[in-house]
């Protein structure tokens, strides 16, 4: 009986996040010639091709070093080619210069949804490039992408931090 309970419970989704990956930067910052790739495909075997997803971008930064705004270029592709390329500006400080996001010890974290309610296609990948000079990204510690199942969203506690350009 215990084996049956363990077997049935092992594939149960406990959270709506189905993929998360983070790149780490050293104190020098993010070189703008470096494209950070994220590969959320192939899908987890417990997911269905009918599932819909939200794509969430997260940046972690040190408030002592970070610029106010980090412009990024985000390219989504699948095995058929480019889906979309767009530029977003991530605000790390408010108009008074105070850090934005959730604080955890010495770092702040900002997140926002880049894309909502989309199907994951074969070979899907995302490439992110900084449009800032190296010295403007010195405070960045991590950048990450996550996919969550659409429809399981929790209400946002903060206004949107990213703006499309």
DSSP 151: T
Q: Domains (ranges, CATH) in the chain?
A: 15-45+53-152+160-164 (2.60.120)
Sign of the CA dihedral 150, 87, 74, 121? Answer: positive
Q: Using an 8 Å Cβ cutoff, are 106 and 141 in contact?
A: no
Question: In angstroms, rounded to a whole number, what is the distance separating the alpha carbons of residues 74 and 76?
Answer: 7
pLDDT at position 44: 65
Residue 163 clears pLDDT 70, i.e. is over it:
no
DSSP, residue by residue, 1-56:
-HHHHHHHHHT---SSEEEEEEEE--TT---TTPEEEE---SPPTTS-TT--EEEE
pTM, entire model: 0.79
- The pLDDT tens digits for 19-65 are 899 999 998 999 999 999 999 876 666 677 678 889 999 999 998 88
């Amino acid at each position: 009986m215990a084996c049956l309970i363990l077997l049935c419970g092992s594939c149960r989704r406990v959270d709506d996040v189905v993929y998360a990956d983070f790149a780490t930067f050293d104190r020098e910052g993010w070189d703008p010639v470096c494209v950070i790739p994220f590969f959320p495909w192939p899908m987890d075997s417990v997911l269905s091709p009918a599932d819909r997803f939200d794509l969430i971008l997260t940046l972690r930064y040190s408030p002592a070093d970070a610029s106010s705004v980090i412009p990024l270029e985000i390219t989504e592709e699948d095995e058929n080619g480019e889906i979309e390329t767009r530029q977003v500006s991530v605000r790390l400080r408010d108009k008074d210069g105070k850090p934005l996001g959730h604080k955890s010890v010495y770092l702040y974290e900002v997140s926002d949804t880049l894309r909502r309610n989309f199907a994951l296609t074969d070979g899907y990948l995302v490439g992110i490039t900084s449009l800032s000079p190296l010295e403007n990204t010195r405070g960045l510690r991590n950048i990450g992408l996550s996919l969550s199942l659409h429809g399981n969203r929790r209400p946002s506690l903060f206004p949107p931090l990213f703006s499309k350009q």
